Amino acid sequence: MRQQSGDASLLRRLNSAAILRVLRESEVATLSELARAARVSRPTAEVIVEDLLAEGWAEECAEGQDDRRRGRPARRFRFRAGAGHVVGVGVGGSRLRAMVTDLNGAVVAARRASHHPSMPAGDRLDAIAELVGAVLAEAGPAVRDVTAVGVGTTGTVDGSGRVVKSVALAGWTGLDLRGELSRRIQAPVLVDNDMRLAVLAEHWRGQARGRQDVVYLFTGSRLGLGLLIGGRPHRGAHAASGEIGRQAGDHWRAYRHMTEYAIAVEPGELRSQREAAQFAIERARAGDEQAARAVGDFARQLGQGLLTVVNPLDPELVVIGGSLSQAGDLLVEPIRKLFSEACLYPPDVAASGLGGECVALGAVRLALDHADRRLFTQPS
């Protein structure tokens, strides 16, 4: 919301923030409803709403035919979500994704670009800034008008937006990612670990809506883990939550079941770990029993690795996310069966519907939370 003039009273600013917040939370509201919810007089609400209309933060709803039949109806207003925009960026091992949304989270534009893990850090930073510029050019708003840019990246990320350690991207360890991107993008930049943002996205718009304690397993070209505890993404003592590390019994080397299958079926075809997994999943869905066994073995070994987290954490739900979540019940059912045998309170297991967009979508939510604090928090 635009800053009030220097002589505006604190009470006026408090009331303006309250009215705007009520508008955001309501689909449609009359002046009387706004005044009652914000605990201000109706004349005060009317003056504030006129200001919000002039500034573009609110819009008046058109009258319907039924309204005209009743005579002069009460004026109705709603929050104008298109008055501001945020950007969410996902930085993966080989792909960059970016999306622009309005302040209600409706996607206006989305783009992706490929990059190589060995790309110099400076080139990757430039590629991120170029992708943000390109997706905003498609969406309409200028970079300087964006409320915030959220960025999710692989690696351990501290509270200042610095990448403490990354084994997936060259030159990323020790990088002040927030600072470097802020020099390239003329908008507020926020940075966090990709798995924390993925589980945030699930809690916002995915399988974890309404859940408080969730384990999120990312499956794609690599494995990652996100934890939702008490309804909030867990950071850990060293901001390293989401980094799996080594597992006893090499449980996280489960991909070998599907890579060995792909090599046995087509020995002359070179595939990445993810491509081999997708090949096996497609063949299993087509009825290949050998492929189905390979996918089942993969799922069971994932489940065995998850037990070391699930049993002590006691979550309500385990979400299988990332690009391999398209396997659906081929992954979910073996894990669910294992949990029923090995857990005192077996959690539900579900495949994510967010696919590879989960990190960028979580980065959008991170940026929207920043926008909410900036626009709707009452000033002190």
Domain boundaries, the chain: 10-79, 84-198+359-376, 210-353
- Are 22 and 34 in contact, with CB atoms under 8 Å apart? yes
Residue with token string 């659906």? 328
Distance separating alpha carbons of residues 368 and 375, to the nearest angstrom: 10
pTM, full prediction: 0.87
Mean pLDDT of the region 33-40:
92
- Are 90 and 360 in contact, with CB atoms under 8 Å apart? yes
Domains 84-198+359-376 and 210-353 share a fold: yes
Which pLDDT does position 222 carry in this prediction? 80
State the chain's mean pLDDT as an integer: 89
73 falls in which pLDDT band (50, 70, 90)?
confident
Exposure string of 210-220, with b = 16+ CB inside 10 Å and e = fewer, is ebebbbbbbbb
Topology of the domain covering 210-353: Nucleotidyltransferase; domain 5 (3.30.420)
CB-based contacts of 62: which residues, under 8 Å, 6+ apart?
none
What is the CATH class of 84-198+359-376? alpha beta
Mean pLDDT of the region 50-54:
93
266 falls in which pLDDT band (50, 70, 90)?
very high
Per-residue pLDDT of 188-234, as tens digits, reads: 999 999 999 999 999 999 999 999 999 999 988 788 899 999 999 99
Mean pLDDT of the region 160-184:
95
Mean pLDDT of the region 321-346:
94
Higher-pLDDT residue of 251 and 67 is 67
Which pLDDT does position 7 carry in this prediction? 45
Neighbours of 142 (CB within 10 A): 12
CA–chain centroid gap for 175, Å, is: 22
Tell me which of 39-53, 306-320, 364-378 is least confident: 364-378
Neighbours of 311 (CB within 10 A): 13
Mean pLDDT of the region 174-184:
97
48 falls in which pLDDT band (50, 70, 90)?
very high
How many residues are listed for the chain in this entry? 380
Which pLDDT does position 4 carry in this prediction? 47
Mean pLDDT of the region 9-24:
85
SS3 call for 275: helix
Percent over 70 (pLDDT), the chain: 91
Which pLDDT does position 245 carry in this prediction? 47
pLDDT at residue 122 above 80?
yes
Q: What is the CATH number of domain 10-79?
A: 1.10.10.10
